[in-house]
Structure 1
Amino acid sequence: MCGRFLIQQDPNVFRAFYGYAEQPNFPPRYNVAPTQPVPIVLAERGERHFRLVRWGFLPGWLKDPKGFPLIINARVETLLEKATFRGAIRHRRCVFLSDGFYEWRREGTGKTMTRTPYMIRRADAAPMAFAGVWENWLGADGSEIDTAAIVTTGANGTMAAVHDRMPAILSPDAIEPWLDHLGTGPEEAAALCRPCPDEWLTLNPVSARVNDARNEGAGLAVPVGRAGPAPIANIPPKDRPRSSDEDAQGTLF
């Protein structure tokens, strides 16, 4: 799953990379957390646009969000099947603006379990294009909230040493068809969401301060040492990262 990410580069870098018309000015954020406003890119009438949305998807058919589970990720394997995402995958696809994300390697069980945070970035320092789905939720009182979730897929070889899931990171040539909901059907779009090549990513342990969403600042993204985790093939099965806790969030995924 993806539960925390960072947005570090200058806004003009993202604008040039994605080609949206707006000229937003936003500060770097090193510990973006669920329920916070997050920037996305979407396509309307053949043009790309910047928009701020709530990270936490609310389906359009939902009458009352009270008690509804927080949906920050959408599994690509069930994206086409679940009523929660069926409309969004057809008509409301987006890309999250990001420079990387954090994931926690869990080892052990119970009181002896440890969780080590890792920062994952693109090796070429380009923006990391997370595939996403969004929805405009309308409340009974007339209020509107734009919400979104990150699409996830199985881990590639690099990520498998830390976690069994990862965001679907789009290649530059996949961004256009992903956003083009008129020209790209839902099945074709879902096929774009697959584990990215191992060589795209760098992975480094970071400070445990990132565990607390209240902490911010560039220091959170500074690697602690340079040694990454052992390759998955070298880790005994009993010591491999535990399965994604997305499964504990309900059958909506």
Structure 2
Amino acid sequence: MTGIHPTALVDPRAELHASVQVGPYAVIGPHVRVGAGTSIGPHCVIEGETTIGQDNRIFQFASLGAPPQDKKYAGEPTRLEIGDGNTIREFVTINTGTAQDAGVTRLGRDNWIMAYVHIAHDCQLGDHIILANAVQLAGHVHLGDWAFLGGLTGVHQFVRIGAHAMTAFQTRLAQDLPPFVTAGGNPAEAQGINVEGLRRRGYGAERIAIVKQMQRLLYRKGLTLEAAREQIEALRGEGAETDADIALMQDFLAAATRGIVR
């Protein structure tokens, strides 16, 4: 395989597509599978039951598929699954799952993971996510599509972050952050909605207006969460796209177990 540098240590049982590029001194374990077009930088270590899709760019010194940092872990056969088209920058660490959860840590597709990010065991990340430098995700964290976490954001275990949500620099999240909502601070406080991000994704004025109404009902009317959900439900009927946005919010709120950022 001409794309593998002669100093790299690739276990002969690993399954790498012939187009995969592996840089100097990288180490790839026996249970690793890597799809076409993926590049693996110098000094990366990829181990465990790890599956990586196509066209990923993994920069130097990343550590993928190491055992979870969980004292209950006793060597169970857990996994890491990474989709297609992701950029994983320097010193990123992503661990496998645990038997106490789904047993798998997942990263979707087209995500941008900046330097020094840690994604702990059993995290479930969707697509088109941006994690800025040194974001730290504890175990069992869920991130929806298009979420954007600012640099040095820290997320408590089991927290859920909704699609299109956004955090500011050095945010501490210990409760769930609903879809579309922006938050900042230590502890985090809701600050508004991710209007610019929605516009970039093609949201028109009508959809953004509904999102703003949902945010006002959650945060500016002094309503209980149950009362806010009832009034959010009453916003349905303006169109298929706005109804889908309302359903996204309602499903998230119904599943919230840690309370939401206020």
Fold-level similarity (TM above 0.5): no
Q: What's the TM-score once normalised by structure 2's chain length?
A: 0.28
Greater percentage in helix: 1
The higher relative CO (CA closer than 8 Å, separation ≥ 6) is in 1
Q: What's the TM-score once normalised by structure 1's chain length?
A: 0.29
- Which structure is larger by alpha-carbon Rg, 1 or 2? 2
